[in-house]
Amino acid sequence: MLPLLNNETTISQIVSLLIAALLGGLIGLEREREQRPAGLRTYMLVCVGSALFTILSINAFPSELPRDTARVAAQIVTGIGFLGAGTVWRSHDRVSGLTTAAGLWVAAAIGMAVGAGMGMLALAATVLVLVVLSVFLRAERAFLNHDQRHDHRREQ
């Protein structure tokens, strides 16, 4: 085994990153299926990055003094807000990309949960996100008739 991997903590952290990649990838696959701008790789990277930053904030900065690990978490949220803002655009009377921005935001939270050792919470959130994205999309299409309403607005 490599000298860098001889520590159980390190192996556990690597497994956490792999779990974050998997969970982010599940959401990304759904977004790819719907042909959205952010897909598999983007969601995986957001989840892994958030998990890594969280692991680092908890473990990489030892100190004798009390430390505020929440500062890194706050910066993750800010960074994801910036990334999400880049996915939102407005054209005439229509705003697009809000679900993508929200998806990236929640993918970051899922990555943070994995990085903090809350894997079951991250898994539950991932399942809930997938239900919201797929089941509720079908419900919107069936009951709200979004496509016709948007077409009607464009004709006016």
Q: Is the pLDDT of residue 156 over 50?
A: no
- How many separate domains does the chain show? 1
Mean pLDDT of the chain: 85
* Domain with 76 in it: 3-155
Q: Is the pLDDT of residue 34 over 90?
A: no
What's residue 103's pLDDT? 94
Contact 100, 37 (CB under 8 A): yes
Lowest-pLDDT range of 19-23, 91-95, 110-114, 144-148: 144-148
For residues 63 and 49, give the distance between their C-alpha atoms in angstroms, rounded to a whole number.
23
What's residue 124's pLDDT? 98
Report DSSP state, residue 62: -
Nearest to 110 by CA among 14, 38, 28: 28
